[in-house]
Amino acid sequence: MKKGLTFLIVVIAGIFVLGCQSANKNQEKPEKAVVVEKTVHISGMHCDMCEASIEKGINELEGIEHVQASWNDSTAIVKYDESVTTMDDIQKAIEKRGYSVKSEQNN
């Protein structure tokens, strides 16, 4: 009976130790945030609704901290985490709304 109880304790302890080790392996180090701000030049904006549409489309992306579109100067200023999203993703979000990106310029 002692051997059976000892064996059971060893098995339970082994499962606990293995479970803890596998949980530690699954924890990835989070990437360090790389927040940048860029000005995007956009064709096709002509009203406040255009601004709102572009802002909504860009804000749907992960990693966006702030976006402000302006139809007056045909730009959107986008502050985002480069480790989460890319300028290409932002451009696609704008184009999905029916606008086109003229060029990109760093601030």
The ranges assigned to domains in the chain are 35-106
Q: How far is CA 83 from CA 30, 32, 62, 96, in A?
A: 10, 7, 10, 22
Give the pLDDT of residue 33: 83
Give the pLDDT of residue 101: 96
Query: What's the fold here for domain 35-106?
Result: Alpha-Beta Plaits (3.30.70)
pLDDT tens digits for range 65-95: 999 999 999 999 999 999 999 999 999 999 9
pLDDT tens digits for range 1-41: 566 656 656 656 666 665 655 555 555 556 688 899 999 99
Give the pLDDT of residue 4: 60
Instruction: State the Cα–Cα distance between residues 77 and 71, nearest whole angstrom.
Output: 12
- The reply to whether the predicted model has a pTM over 0.85 is no
Averaged pLDDT for residues 92-103: 93
Give the pLDDT of residue 5: 57
> What band does 107 get if pLDDT is binned at 50, 70 and 90?
very low
Instruction: State the Cα–Cα distance between residues 67 and 60, nearest whole angstrom.
Output: 11
